Amino acid sequence: MIAIASDHAGFRYKEQVKRVLDELGLQYQDFGTDSEQSTDYPDWAHRASEAIVSGRCERGILICGTGIGMAIVANKHRGIRAAVCESVTAARLARLHNNANVLTVGERITGWESVADIVKTFLSTSFEGGRHERRVGKIHSLTEL
């Protein structure tokens, strides 16, 4: 299950991403918003992130104007590794090397054709593990360096 959410600035892309997920036969849960009426991105990012942390969803796709605000909020949740991706290469490497479990994109930054490919790449790429496993394990570690 994929958690999907947006604020008003990402609403149109969220609706288009849902169609991509339908085409791919992937299940998702939409955590809002449901219109282009002005709203606060943290509300939607927290809801989707909580669903991932709780295990109800495996990954997430969050969309706002830049992708940055959603990523900041999502990364406040222990166990979330959100990556802002503006290219297919970034999406592939976020999965391969960082085991990112949340993709964030910006509707005001990245064209739809690129976003569709970014979403497909993010969802079809597996974590490489190996030397990256140790590094990812340190993300939520509170030990001193």
pLDDT of residue 124: 98
pLDDT of residue 13: 98
Q: What is the secondary structure of 58-127 as a DSSP string?
A: SEEEEEESSSHHHHHHHTTSTT--EEE-SSHHHHHHHHHHH---EEEEETTTS-HHHHHHHHHHHHHPPP
pTM listed for this prediction: 0.95
Element (H, E) at 16: helix 11-24
pLDDT of residue 142: 61
pLDDT of residue 79: 95
pLDDT of residue 133: 87
pLDDT of residue 138: 86
Task: With beta carbons less than 8 A apart as the criterion, state whether 62 and 103 touch.
Answer: yes
Q: Which of 8, 46, 57, 64 is catalytic?
A: 64
- Residue segments in the chain with a per-residue pLDDT below the cut of 50: 145
In this predicted model, what pLDDT tens digit does every residue of 110-145 receive, in sequence order? 999 999 999 999 999 999 888 898 888 888 776 554
**Hunting for tokens 């958690």 — which residue is that?**
3
Element (H, E) at 30: strand 28-30
Q: Which of 46, 57, 85, 97 is catalytic?
A: 97
64 labelled catalytic: yes
Element (H, E) at 5: strand 2-6
pLDDT of residue 111: 98
8 labelled catalytic: no
Please state, in angstroms and rounded to a whole number, the distance separating the CA atoms of residues 43 and 115. 23
Domains and CATH numbers, the chain: 2-137 (3.40.1400.10)
pLDDT of residue 143: 55
Q: Is the dihedral of CA 69, 75, 80, 85 positive or negative?
A: positive
Bridge partner list, 83 = 103
